[in-house]
Amino acid sequence: MLHVRISAYSTARNLAPQTSDRLEEALTELGLGPLPEYVQHAFVHPQWRYRLVYRATTVILECAAAHRRHAEDGTLDLEALTHASRLACNDINRVHWMRGTIPFDRRFRIRAVRAHAGRVVNRIQWAERSLEADPAANLPAHARRWLTICDRYMGSRIGALLDDVEWSVSRRG
């Protein structure tokens, strides 16, 4: 766990100051609009707990690059996108302790958030398999999905990261 925190801190510390500008350009290119205010906070105050946001930013930038290559050449290379997405999905599975919003004595809430994170990862993987069918339509939708995850994570809504996945409900009796 300490190794993960140290590597996340180094990831946050090594952010280029132009990353948020590149993200804004990528979102404009994909037709997704401006960067949410909560997500901008992660770039102004880089910390290890925002590692999911940085990894999701990489996925969004790869979506924009794949969309650009597909529009120019007609080629579709999703290897870099798949690798970046796999790293971000690993962070989604750790969201219950990375964000730090659930006390350790609330195991029932941690179980609910873990179950929701698993459903979100399954939804992301399912969406990635459909990217090759229609890249022009599916790449912006995939980037929007990751932007929604970033926005909800920064708003501490880790039990409702996506709309098209059912919410996690605690089963405390």
In tens, the pLDDT along 110-146 reads 788 888 889 999 999 999 998 888 888 899 999 999 9
Examine the pLDDT at 78 and tell me if it is beyond 60: yes
Q: What is the Cα–Cα distance from 55 to 98, expressed in whole angstroms? A: 13
Give me the pLDDT at residue 145, please: 94
SS3 sequence, the chain? CHHHHHHHHHHHHCCCCCHHHHHHHHHHHHCCCCCCHHHHHHHHCCCHHHHHHHHHHHHHHHHHHHHHHHHHCCCCCCHHHHHHHHHHHHHHHCHHHHCCCCCCCCHHHHHHHHHHHHHHHHHHHHHHHCCCCCHHHHHHHHHHHHHHHHHHHHCCCCCCCCCCCCCCCCCCC
* Predicted TM-score (pTM) of this structure: 0.80
Task: Determine the pLDDT at residue 41.
Answer: 74
Q: What are the pLDDT digits (tens) for 90-110? A: 999 888 766 666 666 677 777
Model confidence pLDDT, tens digit, residues 33-69: 887 887 877 777 677 678 888 899 999 999 999 999 9
